[in-house]
Chain A
């Protein structure tokens, strides 16, 4: 017998269940308990960058929107800097912009929205330029372990074509499942996305 390595084992995941709102977004469960709540609004009046709305749905294997799903997003600021000590890139940090938000889908329509800014391009540790993107984490009843995916932006064609992560996706036809589509509505910039859990258009999910 070799010497034991003695690493601990990661705690097993369990589904967030249908009542995830109680713990993470109590107002959606129907009550008010905390003095301070987390939300789907990442911006403050001082946040730098282009205001955008991310708006989309998560669809099950029949194409039906999940109406009890919870999404979290994590993103860099407009200068491409994450608000975390492990990001040592040169972009200016904005203390007020945490870069994280969470949203539950609407109980009727399944629509999920975030009010944020478009992140800047980031430089990865290998020095490669990465297209602007938002990291997404998805939990719900029936999802046994949180799903990781990304949202890229449809108006960043050149950057997307050079992105080291998008270029890993094979076959290339699946890359479009990670791209949110830009439009303008009543003077606001909206990026629309659809996350397909199954089917021919199944979204690319990552083992991060």
Chain B
């Protein structure tokens, strides 16, 4: 096998694929802040000095908010969505091989096509390849811990990696992060910009995590937990987890010469 070849593309396994996407150009739906963590969440101590205290000023979306950067395949390399190979020096990284896949959707259920999804994580032992991480678990010489992908025309993305390990951090003296993968997503307008974290079904650290429990809404928290997806696993190779990401929906506005459809 050519070590530089991308791993085989997954088939979008969903019976009901998301609706086709047609650009809209109205404002985004008002963000429902009751499902997001509040800026000031004292159980997550770092938020105390870093949380604005004044009310946010609500802006009716202008062209500055409904537009956003556009990325293309020219921005990416062929191994960018393969964390098992994209930093391998003399073998594969240590850990449970997994595929993570899903759709980027908007609140109306449409797939968000051609949008950039970036992801980063600790290695299987819970150590980040970062000069500021000093956890005693070892660096894996064959694992970088980051990747990125563009969604296809239905909003589908996938990547391959190893399952990250949990790790301790300084909040309380015995605070541990559940295994997680960080996600950064763009959408079509800058007001959709989102960073979040994906967790794994069955992780006992989920209910005691001071960062996860900043989320005030139980259902919103559950939606960050990716279920095992045996149907998408590769027999004798990798398990799979499914993680759909929902960005804000967008209204239509009607311009004089494009009143048909939206």
Q: For the complex, what is the distance from the CA of A15 to the CA of B44, rounded to whole Å?
A: 10
The answer to whether A13 and B246 touch across the interface, beta carbons within 8 angstroms, is no
With A13-B37, A198-B51 known as contacts, the answer to whether A130 contacts B194 (CB < 8 A) is no
Mask, A43-81, CB within 8 Å of B = 1, is 000000000000000001110001010001010100000
Kindly report which residue of chain A lies nearest to residue B86, judged by CB atoms: A33
Contact of B220 among A9, A19, A169, A198 (CB under 8 A): A9
* A side interface size, CB within 8 A: 80
The answer to whether A12 and B50 touch across the interface, beta carbons within 8 angstroms, is no
Q: For the complex, what is the distance from the CA of A125 to the CA of B251, rounded to whole Å?
A: 14
**Nearest Cβ on chain A to B178's Cβ, whole angstroms:** 11
The answer to whether A84 and B211 touch across the interface, beta carbons within 8 angstroms, is no
With A12-B215, A204-B57 known as contacts, the answer to whether A146 contacts B194 (CB < 8 A) is yes
Mask, A134-178, CB within 8 Å of B = 1, is 010101111111111010000000000000010011000010000
Which of A13, A17, A137 has the most CB atoms of chain B within a 10 A radius of its CB?
Answer: A13
Q: Is the interface of A mostly helix, strand, loop or mixed?
A: loop
Q: Which residues of A contact B189 (CB under 8 A)?
A: 84, 86
Q: Which residues of B contact A85 (CB under 8 A)?
A: 23
* B side interface size, CB within 8 A: 90
Which of A21, A85, A145 has the most CB atoms of chain B within a 10 A radius of its CB?
Answer: A145
**Nearest Cβ on chain A to B209's Cβ, whole angstroms:** 10
The answer to whether B49 and A30 touch across the interface, beta carbons within 8 angstroms, is no
The answer to whether B39 and A145 touch across the interface, beta carbons within 8 angstroms, is yes
Contact of A122 among B64, B148, B214 (CB under 8 A): B64
**Nearest Cβ on chain B to A59's Cβ, whole angstroms:** 10
The answer to whether A11 and B246 touch across the interface, beta carbons within 8 angstroms, is yes
Q: Which residues of B contact A124 (CB under 8 A)?
A: 62-63
The answer to whether B63 and A125 touch across the interface, beta carbons within 8 angstroms, is yes
30 contacts across the A-B interface (CB closer than 8 A):
A8-B107, A11-B220, A11-B247, A14-B182, A14-B197, A15-B47, A15-B197, A19-B120, A20-B120, A22-B129, A23-B120, A24-B184, A29-B130, A36-B77, A38-B75, A61-B49, A72-B193, A84-B188, A86-B23, A86-B25, A86-B189, A98-B69, A100-B69, A140-B50, A141-B46, A142-B49, A144-B41, A197-B50, A204-B57, A207-B56
A-B pairs, top 10 by smallest CB distance, nearest first, are A23-B120, A142-B46, A100-B69, A84-B67, A142-B50, A144-B37, A207-B56, A30-B131, A35-B77, A61-B49
Q: Which residues of B contact A (CB under 8 A)?
A: 23, 25, 28-29, 31-33, 35-39, 41, 44, 46-54, 56-59, 61-70, 74-77, 80, 86-87, 105-109, 118-120, 128-133, 144-146, 148, 182, 184, 188-191, 193-197, 211-212, 214-215, 217, 219-221, 223-224, 245-249, 253, 255
